[in-house]
Structure 1
Amino acid sequence: MKKKIVLISLLILPITAYIYFSMVKHNSLYLSVLVKNVDELPAGTSLSGEPVLLENKISIVGFPGSDILKRKESLFNLNQKIANKYEEFDDFQMVMLVPKGSDEQVEKVISDLKVMSDLSKWKFLFADPEQIASFHSSLQTAQPLDADLGSFYVYIIDKKRDLRGRNGEGKKGKGKDMIDGYNTFSASELHNEMTDDVKILLREYRLALKRNEGKGVKRKI
């Protein structure tokens, strides 16, 4: 019986993965590299006390700011539309860069979100204002930080610390706009553009993993 279960699993999982990644709505095989080698995260303090790094991780990076409750709805959108969908990927993480002194607000938001889902992929990193501003500058994005060092936009950063997005592809494949950040206040933008783009990046790493396995090299995604 156990052998049958293993055989069925081996047959079903590849098919499921194929269907999952084939649901991407636009046909790009790779997500464009918009900025290479952005800064590593500042050496701040995380809630867990463990270091938080971008290197060798697929990261969604955001800036809730010191007035986190103002962006609570956006964090809820991000959790429902993105974080919950990719929590099974070992190297995937949600990194929120927050000014020091915002601990109580962060814990309040976490407490509220925990009621709905597992937050093990979320990493809240507390840093000095200058460190946050400097890291944000390395993204070279057109979306500025607000006075409280916050933004409604989040960014996709790959394992090499490259900023990923759409270069010359507008929303729904129309127009020539570059998409380097995703508006968390818009549930539809997260559901459509960002969900597709994260799938494309994960598919890219899956294909690279298969090629390496074919050469006898084992890598984790």
Structure 2
Amino acid sequence: MKKNIVLFILFIFPIVAYLFFATGVNSFMFLPTVTPNIPDIGHWQSLDGQPVTLNKKITILGFTGTDILKNKGNYFNLNQKIYNKNREFKDFQFVMVAPEGTQSQVKEILNGLDDITDVSKWLFVFAPTNEIQSFYNTLKLKGKLDADFGTSNVFIIDKKRNLRGRKDKDQYKEGYNAASPSDLYNEMTDDVKVILAEYRLALKRNNADRQI
């Protein structure tokens, strides 16, 4: 009993306190699962030919659509509000699903971001539009892809490939609008903090168990 109390004081209470004070807008201490166990994307080709997976990664998942450059401001917003603040976390990544044939547009986006940040965790994968639509359907979301097979929303995927968000009836949130800096700065920043704190807590707990 005493051992459990000591563990709580040393490892769990600081994380709970951090969440309480750091998650201003979001009152959740745990971010609910919107869609469990979505498929992986390992069969799609990445820009550099390296494998990309959602397994054991905290992923910000997006769908670019065919006219990527039209929405280049969205990528700058994401980079400044979310990516730069969290890219040092070992298992954190951005994965953008793009239609085949948009590789040159993606290179232009990455070249622009490369001037202001390390883009090593900005990952793009390419697929036929029918496969993109089929994959998106497995997310079981209320929002739909547009006519270009893209959306301004991005999604939080945890290490077990669960899509996480807010399920409260007064504050349902399945994705975050990259075209809205306020949406990213307030709600998404808040929710990413919750997810990262959840995994930091799990890591501390595992380390404590090994030391006992």
CA drift at 1:20: 8.7
CA drift at 1:163: 0.5
In structure 2, what is the Cα distance between the partners aligned to 1:46 and 1:22?
Answer: 39
Q: Give TM-score, length-normalised by structure 1.
A: 0.84
Does the aligned pair in 2 maintain the 1:45–1:51 contact within 8 Å? Answer: yes
Give runs of aligned pairs for residues 122-161 of structure 1, distance below 5 A: 122-161=122-161
SS across alignment from 1:31:
coil
Partner of 1:88: 88
Give CA-to-partner distance per residue, 1:50-103, whole Å, 9 cap, x none. Answer: 111101000000011110011101111011100000010110000000001001
CA-atom RMSD in angstroms: 1.7
In structure 2, what is the Cα distance between the partners aligned to 1:21 and 1:117?
Answer: 30
SS across alignment from 2:210:
coil
Higher relative contact order (CA 8 A, sep 6+): 2
Partner of 1:33: 33
In structure 1, what is the Cα distance between the partners aligned to 2:19 and 2:31?
Answer: 17
Does the aligned pair in 1 maintain the 2:19–2:29 contact within 8 Å? Answer: no
In structure 2, what is the Cα distance between the partners aligned to 1:147 and 1:113?
Answer: 26
Stretches of structure 1 that go unaligned for 5 or more consecutive residues are 1-14, 170-175
In structure 1, what is the Cα distance between the partners aligned to 2:148 and 2:184?
Answer: 23
In structure 2, what is the Cα distance between the partners aligned to 1:40 and 1:23?
Answer: 31
Aligned sequence identity (%): 47
In structure 2, what is the Cα distance between the partners aligned to 1:121 and 1:157?
Answer: 15
CA drift at 1:28: 2.2
Residue 209 of structure 2 is aligned to residue 210 of structure 1: no
Does the aligned pair in 2 maintain the 1:21–1:199 contact within 8 Å? Answer: no
Stretches of structure 2 that go unaligned for 5 or more consecutive residues are 1-13
CA drift at 1:43: 1.2
Q: Give TM-score, length-normalised by structure 2.
A: 0.87
Partner of 2:184: 190
The number of residue pairs the alignment matches comes to: 195
Partner of 1:70: 70
CA drift at 1:213: 1.2
Partner of 2:10: none
In structure 2, what is the Cα distance between the partners aligned to 1:27 and 1:204?
Answer: 15
In structure 2, what is the Cα distance between the partners aligned to 1:159 and 1:34?
Answer: 14
CA drift at 1:194: 0.1
Does the aligned pair in 2 maintain the 1:43–1:127 contact within 8 Å? Answer: no
In structure 2, what is the Cα distance between the partners aligned to 1:126 and 1:101?
Answer: 8
Give CA-to-partner distance per residue, 1:87-130, whole Å, 9 cap, x none. Answer: 10110000000001001111111111111111111000011112
Does the aligned pair in 2 maintain the 1:42–1:132 contact within 8 Å? Answer: no
